[in-house]
Structure 1
Amino acid sequence: MAEPPTVPPSGKESCGYYIGLSDCPTLVGRSITHAVVPLWNDSAGPLRRKILEAVKGVDWNAIDIFRCGSTSLGHYHLVRPVIPFVSVEPGSITWMSGRAVALKCRDVLREHGIHDVEVEIKESRITQCCSSDQDQTESDRSIAKLEPRILTHEEESFGRHNIQLSEFLGTKIASSQFPTREGTKGLYLRVPNTETIVALTCRHVVFGQEEENVDFCRDTNNTRSVLQPGNKTYQDMMENLHEAISWINSSLRCYKSPTEKQLEHEMHFEGQAR
């Protein structure tokens, strides 16, 4: 059955449609625990393969399935529909192109018996919370990238650098294979039925973009070494330590100078008294 023609949303609707999401992405396409979830989670299954074929012609960077809804509907019935979101690079497609992709994806869902789910295309940019490689200068770093940072009461002293050598959460780590590419150490988790404690971090901190995005199972013959801190943080700590030592030595000299003059003055006065 042919789809009835639709018109693009107004600028206000397009910009405010995802107002509840943190980065408030722009709506650029729309076709208007759920049965779609196991089908989508089957990474080798036909539904995911056909969805990927449907979005092949656009510059997409993520496909997510959310259940969205408003919490301020008052007395109205609260509806939270399941929506597959296809995220595309900002400015990469038009409304009509986005709608065409959404309809293709919806057709795939219908083929697999999913008749109560609509598809939406939104603009989005993927940002990795990971420091740059060493060959990227400070001025080249994207302002959108987050730099892991721990605040303390001794912000200007070397005390905050000491935290990077502790067991605290949020400390900076890096793969030994890429010691200049840093991320953060997240939650501590216990491996079930063991006394082993592990730390959670983002996949790209250990593996990097150049490796295939497949499931990784720990193998004692194929381990990944992690450094704490990474090279850049270690160098920053050493520089800060040298600066702290210089400041202390300078303070000692400033303190020592008037003390020595006072002693000389007292000795001179004592000599005159005799």
Structure 2
Amino acid sequence: MAEPPAVPPSRKESCGYYTGILDCPTIVGRSTIVYDNEVYEKLLDPVEKQAVVPLWNDSAGLLRRKIREAVKGVDWNAIDIFRCGSTSLGHCHLVRPVIPSVSVEPGSITWMSGRAVALKYRDILREHGIHDVEVEIKESRITQCCSSDQDQTESNRSTSKLEPRIPTHEEESFGRHNIQLSEFLGTKIASSQFPTREGTKGLYLQVRNTETVVALTSRHVVFGQEEENVDFCRDTNNTRRVIQPGNKTYQDTMENLHEAISWINSSLRCYKSPTEKQLEHEMHFEGQAREKPTAI
């Protein structure tokens, strides 16, 4: 049965469809034609158990090969599978569906072309017995969160997407810099060979069947763009040292600590040496307390 035609989305839909997702990407294609035109906050969840997972995890399998062929003519930069749905527990869309997604360069594809890719992708899934998922195409741009080798300035500092939720100075005076010295995710790291080229520490992973815990980061943080893009396996005779934090963040942290120490010392001096005005104020209230008659 042929799919009914789908008209391009309204501006409200295309710009608000992914409300709540980081950077709110624009939707440029999908295999469904049903949309309730309602904008609500969405979030992404891991797929966990679903029939598509073992097929997708087989990197050399037929499914992955066919999907790559289906998007061959598209300027894509990522192919993902996740759950996407409402953030509200009381919302009618509580069950977050599994969404295979293709991310393309902004402005590189029309709605009709994007829909054609989504339908082709969905047909491949159905050939493999996956009948309960729909495909979406969205705009996305790859952003490297690694700083340059040169010292950064406020105008060109990297904007890490993995940074933890760090308190503001109003919420916690110096917590922002203290976090950089912790085991938290999203802290700044750098290769000891290029300490000014900072990147971000991602999630922790445990090596299968061992007690070894490793941290995930982008390849360019440790290797740099000038090195050949080939597989690298850990070798005790050829290790890459990583430091936390990198030079720029370390300098910022030290400056902040010096400011914190100065502020604390100043506060202590004020506490130990009250002014004459403060003493007079205290004596005034003490006098009032003595003159106040006792209630019967």
TM over 0.5: yes
Cα 1:179/1:119, change in 2 over 3 Å: same
Does the aligned pair in 2 maintain the 1:174–1:227 contact within 8 Å?
A: yes
Contact 2:163 2:200 in 1 (8 A): no
Q: Aligned in 2, Cα 1:116/1:246: closer, same or farther, shift over 3 Å?
A: closer
Instruction: Report if aligned partners of 1:130, 1:146 keep a CA contact under 8 Å in 2.
Output: no
Alpha carbons of structure 1 residues 200 and 157: separation in structure 2 relative to 1, 3 Å:
same
Shift, 1:30, TM fit = 0.6
Range 214-223 or range 72-81, more displaced: 72-81
Deviations 1:212-243 (A, max 9, x none): 77876533233221123323345556888999
Instruction: Give the whole-Å Cα distance in 2 for the aligned partners of 1:219 and 1:122.
Output: 39
Bigger Cα displacement from structure 2, 20-29 vs 256-265: 256-265
Does the 8 A contact of 1:170 with 1:186 survive in 2?
A: yes
Structural RMSD (CA): 7.3
Distance 1:49 1:133 in 2: 38
User: Structure 1 residues 209 and 5 mapped into 2: Cα distance closer, same or farther (>3 Å)?
Assistant: farther
- Residue number in structure 2 paired with 1:55: 71
- Could you state the TM-score of these two structures normalised by the residue count of structure 2? 0.62
Contact 2:151 2:248 in 1 (8 A): no
Contact 1:129 / 1:147 at 8 angstroms: preserved in 2? Answer: no
Q: CA deviation at 1:253?
A: 18
Paired residues of 1:127 and 1:144 also in contact (CA < 8 A):
no
Q: Residues 148 and 184 of structure 1 are in contact (CA less than 8 Å); yes or no, is this contact kept in structure 2?
A: no
CA contact (8 A) 1:173 1:184 kept: yes
Instruction: Identify the range of structure 1 (185-194 vs 126-135) with the bigger mean alpha-carbon deviation.
Output: 185-194
Give the gaps of 5 or more residues in structure 2: 32-49, 291-296
- Report the more deviating stretch, 221-230 or 159-168: 159-168
**CA separation of 1:92 and 1:174: change in aligned 2, threshold 3 A:** same
Query: Is residue 129–residue 146 contact of structure 1 (8 Å, CA) maintained in 2?
Result: no
Give deviations 1:40-89, integer Å, cap 9, x for gaps.
Answer: 11112121122122112222121111223336596958543321011112
1:127 CA displacement: 3.0
Residue 268 and residue 199 in structure 1: after superposition, are their counterparts in 2 closer, same or farther (change >3 A)? closer
- Per the alignment, residue 37 of structure 2 pairs with none
Name the SS of the counterpart of 1:221 in structure 2: coil
What SS does the corresponding residue of 1:157 show, helix, strand or coil?
coil
Instruction: Give, in angstroms, the shift of residue 97 of structure 1.
Output: 1.3
Question: What is the distance in 2 between the residues matched to 1:79 and 1:4?
Answer: 26
More deviation, 205-214/224-233? 205-214
Judge conservation of contact 1:148–1:172 (CA < 8 Å) in 2. no
Kept in 2, the 8 Å contact 1:164–1:172? The answer is: yes
Q: Distance in 1 between matches of 2:91 and 2:202?
A: 40
The answer for the alignment partner of 1:14 in structure 2 is: 14
Q: Could you give the per-residue CA deviations for residues 242-272 of structure 1, whole angstroms, max 9, x where no partner exists?
A: 9999999999999999999999999999999
Secondary structure class of the residue paired with 1:68: strand
Higher alpha-carbon deviation: 223-232 or 57-66: 223-232
2:196/2:248 contact within 8 Å kept: yes
2: CA distance between counterparts of 1:48 and 1:95? 24
Q: CA deviation at 1:176?
A: 2.7
Unmatched runs of 5 consecutive residues or more in structure 1: none
Which residue pairs with 2:212 in the alignment?
Answer: 196
Q: Deviations over 1:112-143 (max 9, x none)?
A: 22222221101122334332332887645676
Q: If the length of structure 1 is used for normalisation, what is the TM-score?
A: 0.66
Equivalent residues of 2:164, 2:185 under 8 A apart: no
Cα deviation for residue 206 of structure 1 reads: 2.5
Relative to structure 1, the CA distance from residue 194 to residue 69 in structure 2 (aligned partners, 3 Å threshold; closer, same or farther) is: closer
Measured in 1, the distance between the counterparts of 2:238 and 2:170 equals 41
Equivalenced residue count is 272
CA contact (8 A) 2:164 2:184 kept: no
3-state DSSP class of the match of 2:194? coil
